Each structure stands twice: as structure tokens, then as C-alpha cells.
Amino acid sequence: MFQPNKKSLKILFVASEAAPFVKVGGLGEVMNSLPRALRNLGHDARVLIPKYATIDIDKYPLKTEIHELKVESGDRDPFGILVSNILRYDGSDGWVNYFLENMEYYEKRANVYGYSDDTVRWILLSKAALEFVKKSDWKPDLVIASDWQSGFIPNLVHTDYKEDPILSKIPIIFSIHNLRYQGLFDPKFVSEMDFDAGQAPITDFFDERTKKLNGMRRGIFYADVINTVSPTYAREILTEEFGEGLDKLLNERKSRLFGILNGIDTESLDPETDKDLIANYSVKSLDKRLENQVALQKQFGLPATKGDVFVVGMVSRMDEQKGFDLVIQALGPLMENINFQFIVVGEGNPGYRSYFEELKAKYPDRVGTHFSFDARLPRMIFGGADAVLIPSRFEPSGLVQMEAMRYGCIPIVRKVGGLADSVTDFSPETEEGTGFVFEKYDPFSLTIAIVRASELYRQKKGWEKLMKRAMAEDFSWEHSAKEYVKLFELALRFHKDNQ
């Protein structure tokens, strides 16, 4: 990709969530960290999300930016116009965040996702974002729509707003964080009758067909540029195995498809300063790390082994995507043959939870579990476990492996998506690599990877060298943000050439 010029860009991200205001998954963290990294590079990056009832307005006081923003629903009166407000939060460092205020669709809801009218909620967000750009004194140079929830933005700009003198001049980038989620349906089982090709007009808010719209397909179809959250994932989704039914469309648009690996917040994720650790340490004082392992074992009711037993952690949403079916097949035989402790933290599938509860009952001194959210526990695992397990079926980017490596916790991963881009397999011949990588999605490959890690752990000097290499990796957002600036410049060029 060509080198960007020095022009300061005005960038608007539109998303369904953004930390620190509201965070459900990785998207929320990216919508906090990436704009901040871009601002640190001298760009004016802002975010627009809905104003949810859970946002702490005492901590984040909001003021009205635009009063009574009108959005057409497409329906005849009395539902033809939905009136909302755009609110604004100004951070102490010049940081600006916008919020779409609508009582019915956002503030009356207990959750961010999971409603039968979610598609309507996201079309409202998409239309309101564009109306905001038209009316605001601040005009972005680019708009970045994130995942299917705002995939209607590129669609609207190239159809309903194609003659608009303001919006028609702004490139739209569509950012894919997880291709699997495309709308209010499972893309693998959508019927031919319900299939949305993405080219028909967006239906009225209260039309039954609206629930069947595919925001992901529409975003890909209409965007000026498409990006995913890792280079390998950008290549994988061109195949039938990873394409989630959109591989043909993505291949048609692959000249506009790019992948940039997500970063992590290296300021808060720092073993030298992290307050969630019993003992802070650096690459020069790894011996202090043992105190954190003892604290971790105590937290989960496991005997303190003082570094004599291999400790493996797993921090993950309990979902089929994350490879839990492999773990379930491999863990029992491993427990019978290797002396190690296993700690799992996560929410999700109750079937997986039942399995780990039974395993803990069978091995009370070797298995630790926690099945509800606790912000401290992942940091404790990164700072105290020897390895972290991420055997994903697919993984667009993944943050856990990068966060763990920052703390010297060695990743055991499958070679997919962002895991392949961030972890290199350990080679005993060259003493290179930052983790243990396996390719085939089967329990035997996973077992071999864990055994390999366990064997190296016994060689303390070799393991210490591995930890130091992992901790030396640079996964800061600064690097990723520079790649995004190149992408933005490319989008501006593409858009100008097509005018």
C-alpha cells in the first residue's frame, strides 16, 4: 500500500458500541482504541453510537449537538418521520464522541443487542448518521461503517443519497469485524425466499421484510473500500470455508478488500503497572511473575505449585467459534497423561459450562472455573498462567493472544485469521517463535500443541527465552493506526477517481 501524505483527516466511525461508554465485545474496544490512536497521529477521529440507558451520564456529561434530527422511516404518517437528537461528549484531551438519542429504540432497551426489531434500530442509526453529517458544521473526510449494524450506510449513500452534494463526496469504508453476523438470521440457513441480494431498496422500518435484510452483504456490495481486522482473515473470507456465504461477492470486490490487524491498549495492558496484579514485573524481572501465579491459583482454589506445574488458562466467550468442542475432546485424555492445571474464564453456552463443572468435580486440584464477567480475572490469568489456549475454528483478529503475550503468557493457537498474523510457531531447532501453533481443526492437533508447550516448559531457560520474545512483540495501536491512515488515503483516491 502506498505511503500516506501528511494531511490531517477528519474521520467519523459509526458503530453499535464503543468503550468506555458501552462495550459488549471486541468491536467496542476497537471503537475506543483505534480513534484514540488516530488522534495521537494528528487526525480528528470521532465516533457516533446510540445513547443507551446504561451510559453513565454523570461520568460522561452530554450536551445537545443537534436538536430534533429528523429521519424518514419510509412509512406514511403518523410514522413517516422519527425525531431524534444528537448528543456530544467532549473528553479532556479534545476527544469528541457523538450519541444518537432515541427513547424508543435505544434508551428503553436493557441490552445493546438481541431484539426482534434490531434491523430497524441499526437502519435508524445509519440514516441518522448521514443526516447528522449533512447538518453538522463538522464534515468528515471519510465515514467508517462497522459490521452489519452500520452496513446500511454505504448502501444508503450510493442509492438514496447518491445525488446529495455533501454525502456523495465522502468515501465510505466498510469494516468487517466478524463476517458470521449478517443480520437477524443465521446466514447458513437462510431460505431462498428470505435471501437478500443486497441490491433492492432498503424497506420501510415497519415492513416485515426489513427483518430479513442482510446488512453485511449490503455493506460489502456498496462500500468504496472494505477492510477486515487482520490480513489473513481478509484472504480467508474469499474461500467457501470462511466466507459465510459471501465469498463470491467478496471475490468480486477483492480489489477493494484489505486486512489490518487490530492492536491492543499497551498503556493499560502493562505488567509493570497493572494494578490487578499482585506483583508487577518486566522482561528483566520475570522471577516476580511467580507471585502472580500463586495468587491466581489461590483465586481458583488450586494448590500453589511455585512454578513446578504447567498452568494453562483460557479466556473466551463460550461459543463454538472459539474451539470449545476441540477442548472438550482433548482435555480429558490430557488430564490423564500430563500434570498441568487448567483455568477457564468465560460466559456462554451452558453445555460447555456443564462439561467444565464436571471436569472440576473430577479434578478439583487441577481445574478452576469462573462463568461470569469479571474484568480482573483475564489480567490475573495473563500475569500468572504459563500459557493461554485459543483453538478457534475461525478468528477475525483476536485480542487475547496479543494481550497475553504482553504479559509473557504464551499462546497456544490455531493458525487462522489474526492468530496466524500475530503468533509464530516455536522452533526448537532455531529457538525462534512466540507460541505454539497448530493448523488442522481436530483434537489431535490441539493435543500435540499442548504437549509441545508442556515439554518446553520443563526447560526453564528455553521457556524464559520464549516469554521474552513474546513480550517484545509490538501490538500497539500506533502501528495499526498508521496502516489505517494508508487505507483512508487509498479510499480517498478511489472515490476521487470514480467521481
Contact 435, 475 (CB under 8 A): no
**Equal CATH topology for 10-263+478-498 and 286-474:** yes
pLDDT in the model for residue 78: 53
pLDDT in tens, 17-65: 999 999 988 899 999 999 999 999 999 999 999 999 999 999 999 999 9
CA trace torsion 11, 17, 20, 23 (10° rounding): -150
CATH no. for 10-263+478-498 = 3.40.50.2000
Cβ neighbourhood burial of 68 (10 Å; 0-12, 13-18, 19+): exposed
pLDDT in the model for residue 1: 37
CA distance 472 to 406: 8
pLDDT in the model for residue 383: 98
What is the length of the chain? 499
23 in a known ligand binding site: yes
pLDDT in the model for residue 83: 86
pLDDT in tens, 236-280: 999 999 999 999 999 999 999 999 999 999 988 999 999 999 999
pLDDT in the model for residue 188: 77
Positions of the chain with pLDDT lower than 70, given as ranges: 1-6, 75-79, 499
Q: How many other CB atoms are there within 10 angstroms of residue 176's CB atom?
A: 26
pLDDT in the model for residue 3: 41
pLDDT in the model for residue 459: 96
- Residues 6+ positions from 99 with CB-CB distance below 8 Å: 21, 48, 49, 50, 51, 55, 62, 86, 87, 88, 89
DSSP state of 121: H
Residue extents of the structural domains in the chain: 10-263+478-498, 286-474
CA distance 97 to 322: 32
Helix axes 289-299, 376-384, angle to 10 degrees: 130
CATH no. for 286-474 = 3.40.50.2000
CA distance 1 to 264: 23
